[in-house]
C-alpha cells in the first residue's frame, strides 16, 4: 500500500470535500481517502498494482475539482513555502475582488433601499423609482453586473459542480443569486409596459449576498491561515544557509547542500541548521521551540544537537548526522502534517450529513417556494424571496470546518509544548482516557541508577575511601549499578586506580585485585559465597534500604565487610506532580515494572501511585494493558523502551517519551519531546479541550442550519413574524463559518 498527499483545488465547503472522498473511495484498490477542507489536501492510501496517480487525478477532475500530487523530492520547507505563497496570492485576489464588489454594492444599496429608511435618503430625479422607473432599474442592473463578475467563481465552480452531480455551497449561492438576478432582469424588460414592476426588483439581493459571501470567504481564508501558524513557525526555525567548516576555513553554503559527516561552524546567536553532535567547543542551546523545555541546555563535545535550536553564547563545531527529511525538525513537522491530514472519528457524522446536505437544501428551497405559491397563494416576488433565502442561509462550510480547524490548532498547540500527536483519532481517544499506565524505569524514574547511600562499617574507613575502592574495581564492569558507582566517584573528583585483575561473578558481583588488596563488590549472594560474616544489625539495615527501593551492594576488602553502597533508580522530580495532576482529572494511575514487589511498592508510594503491578516480564506488559481494557478501561500506556513497544501498541493511546528508543517513538500515538511526565497531563487536557471545541463547533453548525433554514423558509412569517431578507441570510451564512474558525482559534490562547 502506498500513501500519497494531493493538493485539491476548487473546494469551497464540506460538500466538496465529501464529493472528493466519495469518488476516490470508489476506486478499486483504494484503502482510505481523507480530505482536509482547512488545508485543501487529500491523504489517500491505495494499492499501486490496481490504482495509479493518473486514475486518482482523473476521478477528482471528473467530480469538478483539480488534484495535484505533492512532490516527494521537494524539501518540505520549500513545499510549504510554495503552498503559503499560493494561499497569499489567492487571498490577495479575493481581497481585490471583494473591494470591487463593495464599491458597486454600496451605491446599489443606496439606490434600491435608501428611500425605505425612516430618514429617506435623497436620489436624483432621473433615478427615482416612481418618476423614472426604467432608469431606476437600469442603474441597479449596471451596478449589479460588476459585482457578479467579481464573484464569478461562485457561478463557474457552483454550476460546474451542479452539472457534475456534486452540488456544493457555491451551487447554492449561484442558484439563489442567479434566480434573483434573472427574475429582476425579466421585471426590468417589462417596466416600459408595466412601470409597477420596478417595485419587484431584487438586484440588491443578488449583489449584496454575493458581496457578503465573498467577505465571509475572505475572513474565513485569513482565519484558516492562522490555524497553520504552528507549522510555519517550526519551518522558520531551520536556517536556509549554514557555515561549512573544512580544513580550518569557513564557507557559507545552502543548508540543503550539506551532507552527513560534514562539519559546520555554529556561531553565538545563530540557529543550528541540522542535527548533529558537538565536535568542538561548548555552549548553551535553547531547544524550547522543539521540546517545550524553557531552560537552555548545556552542550559540550559528544552531545547531540537538534537542527532549528538556538545557540546562545559559545561557538561550536558540529558534525552533521542527519539532513533533509531525516532531521528531528522535519520529522516533527511531518508528524503534525500527518495528524492534521487524518480525520478524527467525531467528524464522521458531519461528513455523512455534508454528503447529502446541499441536495437536501435545494429540495427544501423548491418545496418551500412551491408551498407558499400553491397553498399560500403568495405572489412570485414573495416566493422568490423564500427560495433565495433558503439557498443562501444554508452553510455546509461550518460543518466541514468544525473538526479540521480545531484539530489543526490543537495539534499545533501541542507541538509548541513538545507534545506531538500523530493523528486526529489519537487526539480524540485521549480525551476518554480513564487509566494511565506508566512504565517505571526511565519513565517514572530517571532510568539511570545513582548512588544514594554509603554506609561505613569499618571505623578505620571513610565514605570517600570506600567509594574510591569500589569505583576503582567497577571501572572494568559494564553493569549499570557498577557504572553508577564509578560516575559518583568521578563527580566527587576522586582519582581511581585500575585493577590488576578483574572477575565478574554472574548474578552476584565482581572480584578484583587493587594494589595489595583483594576487593569484592556485590550482593548478599556474593557475601555468602565468600563466607564473610555479616551480623544481624547489618542485615536489618540492608533490608530496610532494600525496602526503600534501593539496591545494597556490599564492599569486601581482604575478607572483611567494609561497608554498604546503595544504588537506586531515583524518581524524576516531576513524577509526583504529574501523578497528582492526573488524579485531579479523575484518572486512575498505575505503575508497571519488572522489579520485585517491595521495591515497586516503595517507588509507587514515593510517586503517589496507588496501583502497582510488579514482577511483570517485558513480554507480558501488553497482556496487563489488555486485561485493563477488558475491565472497560480506556488505557493510555506511557513508556520509553524497546520492551514497552507491544504495550504502547496494545493501549488505546500509546504515549512515548522522546528520550526513549526509536521503536518506542514509532509505536506511540503521542510523543513527548521532553522526559517530563507533566506533559502526559497536558496531553490529556489538550485532548479534552480540543474535543470540547469540536463539539461546540459541530453544535453551532447543526444548530445554525437547523434554526436558519426553517426561518428562511418562512416559519416565523407563518405565525405573524418577519420574512427573512436574502441579504441577512447571506450575512448569517458568512458569519457562521467565521464563528466556527474563530472558536477553534480560541484554543491558541489556552494555558496547558
For residue 180, give the nearest of 731, 735, 730, 722 by alpha carbon: 730
What one-character-per-residue DSSP string does 5-25 give? Answer: EEEEES--SHHHHHHHHHHHH
Please give the grid coordinates belonging to residue 4.
500519497
Contact 327, 256 (CB under 8 A): no
Cα Rg of the chain (Å, integer): 35
User: Alpha helix (H) ranges present in 342-462?
Assistant: 348-370, 380-393, 396-416, 424-430
Please give the grid coordinates belonging to residue 189.
424588460
| Residue given cell 454550476 in the structure block | 159
- The conformation of residue 722, written as its DSSP 8-state character, comes to P
- DSSP H or E run through 218: helix 203-227
Specify burial of residue 379 (Cβ count, 10 A radius: 0-12, 13-18, 19+). Answer: exposed
**Half-sphere exposure at residue 178, Cβ-oriented, CA atoms within 13 angstroms:** 14
Contact 512, 496 (CB under 8 A): no
Residue 187 CB partners (closer than 8 Å, separation 6+): 137, 197, 198, 200, 201
Instruction: Tell me the three state secondary structure of residue 509.
Output: strand
Instruction: Tell me the three state secondary structure of residue 245.
Output: strand
Specify burial of residue 240 (Cβ count, 10 A radius: 0-12, 13-18, 19+). Answer: exposed
User: Is residue 439 among the annotated active site residues?
Assistant: yes
- Using DSSP bridges, classify how beta strands 419-421 and 670-672 pair: parallel, antiparallel or unpaired: antiparallel
CA gap 611, 374 in Å, rounded: 71
Please give the grid coordinates belonging to residue 163.
452539472
CA gap 567, 480 in Å, rounded: 10
- The conformation of residue 643, written as its DSSP 8-state character, comes to G
Specify burial of residue 533 (Cβ count, 10 A radius: 0-12, 13-18, 19+). Answer: exposed
What phi and psi, each to the nearest 5 degrees, are found at residue 70? Answer: -70, 135
Contact 610, 633 (CB under 8 A): no
How crowded is residue 439: how many other Cβ atoms within 10 Å of its Cβ? 28
CA gap 251, 255 in Å, rounded: 12
| Residue given cell 424571496 in the structure block | 385
Identify the active-site residue in 439, 644, 652, 669: 439
Tell me the catalytic residues: 439
Amino acid at each position: 500500500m502506498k500513501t500519497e498527499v494531493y493538493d485539491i483545488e476548487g473546494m469551497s465547503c464540506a460538500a466538496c470535500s465529501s464529493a472528493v472522498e466519495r469518488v476516490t473511495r470508489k476506486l478499486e484498490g483504494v484503502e482510505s481517502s481523507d480530505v482536509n477542507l482547512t488545508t485543501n489536501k487529500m491523504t489517500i492510501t491505495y494499492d499501486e498494482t490496481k490504482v495509479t496517480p493518473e486514475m486518482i487525478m482523473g476521478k477528482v477532475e471528473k467530480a469538478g475539482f483539480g488534484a495535484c500530487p505533492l512532490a516527494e523530492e521537494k524539501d518540505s520547507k520549500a513545499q510549504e513555502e510554495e503552498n503559503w505563497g499560493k494561499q497569499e496570492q489567492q487571498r490577495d485576489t479575493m481581497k481585490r475582488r471583494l473591494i470591487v464588489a463593495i464599491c458597486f454594492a454600496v451605491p446599489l444599496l443606496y439606490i434600491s433601499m435608501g428611500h425605505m429608511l425612516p430618514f429617506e435618503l435623497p436620489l436624483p430625479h432621473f433615478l427615482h423609482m416612481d418618476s423614472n422607473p426604467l432608469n431606476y432599474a437600469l442603474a441597479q442592473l449596471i451596478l449589479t453586473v460588476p459585482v457578479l463578475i467579481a464573484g464569478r467563481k461562485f457561478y463557474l465552480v457552483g454550476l460546474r459542480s451542479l452539472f457534475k452531480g456534486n452540488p456544493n455551497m457555491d451551487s447554492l449561492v449561484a442558484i439563489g443569486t442567479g434566480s434573483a438576478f434573472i427574475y429582476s432582469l425579466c421585471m426590468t424588460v417589462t417596466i416600459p409596459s408595466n412601470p409597477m414592476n420596478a417595485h419587484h426588483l431584487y438586484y440588491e439581493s443578488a449583489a449584496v449576498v454575493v458581496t457578503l459571501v465573498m467577505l465571509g470567504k475572505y475572513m474565513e481564508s485569513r482565519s484558516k491561515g492562522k490555524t497553520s501558524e504552528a507549522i510555519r513557525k517550526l519551518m522558520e526555525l531551520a536556517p536556509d544557509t549554514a557555515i561549512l567548516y573544512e580544513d580550518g576555513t569557513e564557507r557559507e553554503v545552502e543548508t540543503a547542500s550539506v551532507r552527513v559527516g560534514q562539519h559546520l561552524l555554529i556561531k553565538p546567536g545563530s540557529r543550528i541548521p541540522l542535527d548533529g553532535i558537538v565536535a568542538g567547543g561548548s555552549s548553551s542551546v535553547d531547544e524550547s521551540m522543539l521540546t517545550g523545555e524553557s531552560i537552555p541546555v548545556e552542550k559540550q563535545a559528544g552531545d547531540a544537537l537538534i537542527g532549528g535550536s538556538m545557540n546562545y553564547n559559545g561557538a561550536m563545531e558540529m558534525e552533521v548526522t542527519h539532513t533533509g527529511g531525516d532531521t528531528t525538525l522535519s520529522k516533527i513537522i511531518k508528524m503534525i502534517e500527518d495528524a492534521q491530514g487524518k480525520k478524527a472519528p467525531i467528524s464522521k457524522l458531519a461528513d455523512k450529513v455534508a454528503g447529502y446536505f446541499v441536495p437536501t437544501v435545494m429540495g427544501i428551497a423548491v418545496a418551500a417556494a412551491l408551498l407558499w405559491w400553491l397553498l399560500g397563494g403568495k405572489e412570485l416576488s414573495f416566493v422568490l424571496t423564500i427560495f433565495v433565502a433558503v439557498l443562501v442561509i444554508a452553510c455546509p462550510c461550518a460543518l466541514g470546518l468544525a473538526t479540521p480547524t480545531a484539530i489543526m490548532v490543537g495539534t499545533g498547540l501541542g507541538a509548541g509544548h513538545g507534545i506531538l500527536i500523530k493523528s486526529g483519532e489519537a487526539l480524540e481517544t485521549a480525551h476518554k482516557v480513564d487509566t494511565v499506565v506508566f512504565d517505571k524505569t526511565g519513565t517514572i524514574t530517571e532510568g539511570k541508577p545513582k548512588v544514594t547511600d554509603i554506609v561505613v562499617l569499618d571505623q578505620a574507613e571513610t565514605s570517600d575511601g570506600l567509594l574510591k575502592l569500589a569505583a576503582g574495581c567497577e571501572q572494568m564492569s559494564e553493569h549499570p549499578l557498577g557504572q553508577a558507582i564509578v560516575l559518583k566517584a568521578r563527580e566527587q573528583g576522586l582519582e581511581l586506580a585500575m585493577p590488576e585483575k578483574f572477575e565478574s561473578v554472574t548474578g552476584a558481583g565482581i572480584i578484583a585485585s587493587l594494589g595489595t588488596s583483594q576487593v569484592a563488590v556485590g550482593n548478599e549472594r556474593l557475601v555468602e559465597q565468600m563466607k564473610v560474616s555479616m551480623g544481624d544489625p547489618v542485615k536489618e539495615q540492608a533490608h530496610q534500604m532494600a525496602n526503600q527501593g534501593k539496591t545494597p551492594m556490599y564492599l569486601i576488602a581482604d575478607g572483611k565487610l567494609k561497608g554498604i553502597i546503595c544504588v537506586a533508580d531515583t524518581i524524576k522530580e516531576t513524577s509526583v506532580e504529574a501523578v497528582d495532576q492526573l488524579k485531579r482529572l479523575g484518572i486512575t494511575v498505575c505503575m508497571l515494572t519488572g522489579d520485585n514487589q517491595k521495591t515497586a511498592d516503595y517507588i509507587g508510594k514515593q510517586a503517589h501511585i496507588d496501583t502497582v503491578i510488579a514482577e511483570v516480564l517485558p513480554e507480558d506488559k501488553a497482556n496487563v494493558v489488555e486485561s485493563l481494557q477488558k475491565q472497560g478501561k480506556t488505557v493510555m500506556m506511557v513508556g520509553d523502551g524497546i520492551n514497552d513497544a507491544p504495550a504502547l501498541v496494545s493501549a488505546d493511546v500509546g504515549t512515548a517519551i522522546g528520550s526513549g528508543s526509536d521503536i518506542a517513538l514509532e509505536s506511540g500515538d503521542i510523543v513527548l519531546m521532553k522526559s517530563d511526565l507533566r506533559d502526559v497531563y497536558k496531553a490529556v487536557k489538550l485532548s479534552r479541550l480540543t474535543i470540547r471545541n469540536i463539539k461546540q463547533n459541530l453544535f453551532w453548525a447543526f444548530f445554525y442550519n437547523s434554526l436558519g433554514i426553517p426561518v428562511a423558509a418562512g416559519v416565523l412569517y407563518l405565525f405573524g413574524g418577519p420574512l427573512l431578507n436574502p441579504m441577512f441570510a447571506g450575512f448569517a451564512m458568512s458569519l457562521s463559518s467565521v464563528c466556527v474558525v474563530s472558536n477553534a482559534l480560541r484554543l491558541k490562547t489556552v494555558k496547558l
